[in-house]
Structure 1
Amino acid sequence: MKRFIKYFLLCLVAMPLLGAATLVGAYFYVSATLPKVETLSDYRPPLITRIYADDGTIIAEYSKERRILVPFEKMPKQLVQAFVAAEDASFFKHQGLDFQSILRAALKNVKAGGIAQGGSTITQQVAKKLLLTSERTFTRKFKEAILSLRMEKYLSKEDILYLYLNQIYLGHRAYGVEAAAENYFDKNVEQLTLAECAILAGLPQAPSRYSPYRNYDRAMKRQKYVLERMVKEGFITQVEADAAAAEEVAIKPRLNNLLEVTAYFNEQVRRYLEERFGSDLLYTGGLQVETSINLPMQHVAREAVKENLRNHAKRQGFRAVETVLDEEAQQEFFAEQIETFSDEPLQIGDFAEAIVIGQQGDQILCKLADTTGVISIKESKWAGPLRVVPAEEEASGNRDEDGNRQETKLPLGSVIEVRLVANSTEPWQLSLEQHPIAQGALVAIDPFTGQIKAMVGGYEFSESQFNRATQAKRLPGSAIKPIIYAAALDKGYTPASVILDTPLIYEEKVDTGELEEWKPRNYEEKFYGPTSFRKALAKSRNVVTIKILEDIGINYAANYASKLGIETPMQRDLTMGLGSTAVTPLEMLTAYTVFANGGILVPPTYITRIKDRDGRILESIDPADFSTGMAEDQRLIRKPPRRVISPETAYLITNIMESVVREGTGWRAKAIDRPSAGKTGTTNDLKDAWYVGYIPQLACVSWVGYDQERPLGKSETGSRAAAPAWVDFMKEAVKQYPLANFKVPDSIEFHPVDEKNGLLLAEDDPEAYYEAFAPGTAPTKMSDEDQLKARDFFRLEMDVF
């Protein structure tokens, strides 16, 4: 018995010593494998890459973790107190570990037979998030405890809170308090009220469960708990807590309404950043990307393209409805609409779907959500004549397979698209609409800087992400002609040159060895005889263009197009003069900016400056942003502006294209009520419609066509199908600029000429008009008849003298 007691006592003494030795050994063993807390002083978490418009407005964000670093000094004192009260009340007292909390959690974990509750301090949470993994094991907790003690020695309490409040996940992809403040309240963190601070402080325990978006009432209960904890810890008074609890907090989801407006442009920027810097830097590097997009112009551009495509769809006639719903399906349809409209009420001018429920005289009766509406048949002539028929009868559009008009049948239960006209009383006044099938693109560029101010790549980005402004190569038709004519001016032609518009026939051998004829024709199917260079372009005469191209040389013209910015290799035959080489709208517009900019090519750009997370400039189009020793690959890769044609040639082609607007195919552009130059483009089969034009300060291209190429419809030329979008855009866009005429180079000469033969006329001749000429290119003689008139006039003057 004595021996047993002796050994027992020895064990009692040895066990604590053995345990202590084991603990010390484990400490040194684990310590050797732990990361260094010193690395936290260089805290560089994943940050948001932000894209800015030219006025500094954020138009897009890219990130894996939506985080915005905010200095501790900018965090409201009550925000810090709220998180401390809710998460670690003794934070300012302990040295990294709260042994009471650990003991309390340990007892619960023993009972549960595993990790059921943590006793982590804020310091421990930082250690886990930044230095360890999130595995729920005792080993990880041991490491966490060691690191927490080390952190408290190396970092101040403010440093630890800075890390914690920037790192913590607070729901809906928001990491850190600044991102959460934007997410839930559309505010910066320093603008938060006490009530809002308490809501954020209640989120870490279960961000999804306490989300004010999904569970507002639950979030408010959690807010009340946080406020009570703050009172208990002496951070605020009960009066302040009661006032905060009574405050009606407005939850404002961070919905960027610009995302759809600038979507095509945003994607263009995103692709460039990913290609240039890689996806890791794009989504985690916190890049600040300044762009050239002008939001007022972009809004107008998008609406102009959409409205133009809708008008085109109406001109093609009403297509038969595709969906007819039975009674049960209609009720589900209405229930979904009621829920949708409760969040986003339908506004005047908005589009929606409605169900046809009957006809009353000259009105179609519809229902949408829990409201009835009417469509005037008289005001829907584009789709008429309309008639509602029984549900079992087959629907029909108002065009048959041959394009002939017929009656439009709308079965009961038909799903149709409508636009809200008026909703002051029920039934609502609606207009019948039709979703377009054709697509469009519009790009606007400042010709002097090359900066893209607006870009629309299609009807709706959510339906198709294909950017037709930069990716779609389509035949430009007659829009290529100004380039051919500019090349001719540099080859000796003048605006007064006269070319015969007469039939042409070309023969060439095809692969079978047979001869094939090609007869270029004018759009009007006529020939006009002697035609001035100016009128040929103004009236878009195809035959004259082919003759000019044949004279100046195909290779010369192709090389000329290349130096103007057309990067696509041109098809080197005579069809090039009629636009047989497919190009993108951006390419075509780039060439026209050379004319607008007096002969200088400024390559287009959409990014003006890129900064990294530390504010260092990575790329810029401004040379002043860089020191002389900056590496070339840190600059924006863009060719510098360069003169490619003379100022005289640029002015002359501009002056001729002013005639296109005044008296030719570009007549619609007169509606902007200021000097402009431009050219329509239409392919022979009407598959592509273009209008490219400019004022002295802004150039713009509009294109319309089907993705799966097919004719746009009868008479759907560039003037009818594409120019209206250009006009609607420019009417608003030009308001940013003062009224201005195109600058005339000092060397340009003006002489009276005869349009019929291009020769000089006497100044007082009623047939004379003043034509512009490059220096030394004006005609030097008159026709024999005109010379006789001039001599007679001179003799008369001498007799009077």
Structure 2
Amino acid sequence: MTDTPQSNETGPADGQPPKSKRRIRRFFLGLDAFVDTALWRSGSTIRRIFERYDAFLRRFRATGVWRFLAELSSDGLTYGLAGFIVVLAFAQPAFEATRYADWKTTDDFAVTFLDRFGKEIGRRGIVLNDSVPLEEIPDSLIKATLATEDRRFFSHFGIDFVGTFRAMVENARAGGVVQGGSTLTQQLAKNLFLTNERSLSRKVKEAYLALWLEANLTKQEILKLYLDRAYMGGGVFGVTAAAEFYFNKNVRELTLAESAMLAGLFKAPGKYAPHINLPAARARANEVLTNMVQARLLTEGQVIGARRNPALAVDRSQEQLPEYFLDWALDEVKKLARRNPALARDRIVTVRTTLDPALQRQADLAVETVLRENGKLRDAGAAALVSMIPDGAVVAMVGGSSYGESQFNRAVNALRQPGSSFKPFVYMTAFMNGYEPDSIVPDRPVWIGNWSPKNYNRSYRGPVTLRLALTKSINTIPVRLSLDFGREKIIETAYAMGLTHELENSISLPIGSSEVSVIDMASAYSSLANGGFKAPAYAILEVTNSDGEVLYRREQDAPSPQRALPEDKVHQLNEILVNVVEAGTARRARIDGVVAAGKTGTTNAYRDAWFVGYTGNFSTAVWFGNDDFTSTRRVTGGSLPAMTWQKYMAFAHSGIELARMPGVEADSLPRLARAAPSRQADKQVDAVQPRVLKRRTQDLLLEIGRDLHRLRAQKSARITPSGEPEKAVTVQ
């Protein structure tokens, strides 16, 4: 036999691994040794560095009090840095507003507002690019502003820690807030990007935005923006508009006394506005003059003349501008500009609005009268009213009892529980889901978990019709109905009718627990007054630019009305809501000779009282309550709100052609059938102009106005064939 070879030259020896495996093993052993050595040497190096650092610091070792202060400072810096990072995270949302390239001019509109008949009713907005340059603003006004609002303006970086500490000391001494710690830059940041909300988060955002402004603008630009954007009372913004409003002067012509009075408005324009309280305005101006002397910007001798001869403001005590309406209308112009490129480019515009000045005066008078006669007695301190024609055109708006004291518009921005005035949404939903006005539903206790609604009189009627349930405002019935077809359908109906704010789908939704606004309620009830069409509230009829070019005209640019409700269901609900006024909870809202419908609303603890009513001509919502949500003294929707509604609506329907209530015949109401045709007219002492012109008359007046404007624009440009200007055309 031939012997078998045991191995070749590259094969492994007996008991030995292959050569390739030995190489891999040596590689990893070497790598492990390298890592171990590197880690050991790194640790040794770090240890030596730390030992040297520790030895160096030992030379400065503090003992006793110095050690305590050193450790306290070290911990303070550590926690301060951590706090800075956390607070910066909270401030991030505020910086979103600075991403817009035109943030300085986003709201830069100069708007002249006209009423529905073409008469000027007020102005709003500012034009930064066309306003008076900073170097042309009187030196006295700039010094008065800096001395009063921010003496260290040109030395701090947006936040004045020295001024803040000084204000804290003065406030502690006085036991109250007598000085503010915000710099002029912080105030500008609030005006540009934030609201007047009193909260820690707003102060944090304000501080960071102030630093951002200081980093992106010069001191002169910040000062100019502040002077142009600050609210000065009377519905005007900026010193240029304030000089014209209070003194009928160009801002360049202001005296020292007038400059001091304007500078005093920055702190509290409603409190120190000279057209509201001239003595308070003069006292505040005297403080400003003292501030200028203390800041060493002027001497006592230089201000003595202004002290002895204080400024005299223009008497506007007889003027009642629709301030709340103008604020809302300006917001509507801005919304329209986002959809209208032509309007977005032209910032100086004239807007013809839907406002009726006579109705606005009567609305103010009605609210003021009822509050003055009953407010203190019934612990009701605030009220709001919105009135519109059934297509949504707002003709009157009252956002509060005094615009000078509070610019917050309770008619538009306040959200309050509607109480039983929300029930028509429930009953309309019921009619759209198979129920009829004569359908029988039991009025008896109904439980949802641990909650059960109670009726106002704490009793139950047993089986009742839906007609009676809504007329008497029974609470159990709408809750029982919601269990049948679901609260989601009620919410859908409310949105379809005109509510815009989010409704909370809670078990108490059917009896009005979810908050709404006054203007939305008037709009929603308008869909009942017009036969079932959605009627969003609007203020703008026409917009023209400075050259007279029409940029927007509602009758041709607005979308067509959309049907929101079935017509037959609207007729059913109208018939019941007329009965609420005739024989239900709103009898105080009756108007002689006029078919009126509506619903009262009163919330828990009498915090909110509503009456929302309508005729074929107008839909009007009235709310009474308190700004701090405290209870009134048993004010119900059928008392003060219904009384105010009746005072206003009786005037609104005088001298006009009465429109028919959809689905309701006046002859079917015994009270109206007995009323003499001239009874209402005999009760009106003063003759008034028609509140709503016929469409043909409106078109004719508008056409005449456009022709007059066109003639005035052309007469200065006409040239005769000989080259001489043509004689002026006199237009009667």
Question: Under a length normalisation based on structure 1, what TM-score does the superposition of the two structures give?
Answer: 0.46
Whichever structure has more strand as a proportion of its residues is 1
- Specify which structure has the higher proportion of helix: 2
TM-score (norm 2): 0.50
